[in-house]
Amino acid sequence: MANSFDRIYAVVKKIPRGTVASYGQVALLAGNPRWARVVGYALHANPDPEGIPCYRVVTKDGRTSPAFAFGGADIQRALLEADGIEFTEDGRVDMAKYGWTGLG
């Protein structure tokens, strides 16, 4: 049972390649702008890492959390770069350029 989780998973799975979405964005698209924490929890559970690219989900700063190392902080960057996403010297993603608006 995971009404909220299923929503979140569905949204995260819908994130197109080459784009990233913030927790708040996913939460909002999921139907609730307050699910930011739940989104993190849902990704933490990550029951389908092959269908749920948690690495495409970052904070509103386009940054990742210090504990986000689901396999290595560098892993996330590598995966995003593999999608064609560029990183700033701050190690952040250009949300204005790669920030997924959910429009497709």
Which residues are catalytic, by number?
54
Is 51 among the residues that bind DNA (CB under 7 A)?
A: no
Is 75 among the residues that bind DNA (CB under 7 A)?
A: no
> What backbone phi and psi angles, to 5 degrees, belong to 73?
-55, -35
Shortest spacing between CB 13 and DNA, in angstroms:
14
Decide if 22 contacts 53 (C-beta within 8 A).
no
CA distances from 74 to 6, 11, 28 (A): 28, 24, 27
Shortest spacing between CB 68 and DNA, in angstroms:
4
Is 24 among the residues that bind DNA (CB under 7 A)?
A: yes
> In angstroms, how far apart are the furthest CA atoms of the chain?
41
Decide if 31 contacts 7 (C-beta within 8 A).
yes
Q: Residues 13, 41, 86, 91: which binds DNA (CB under 7 A)? A: 41
Binding site for DNA (CB under 7 A): 1-5, 22-24, 32, 34-41, 43-46, 54, 57, 59-61, 65, 67-68, 70
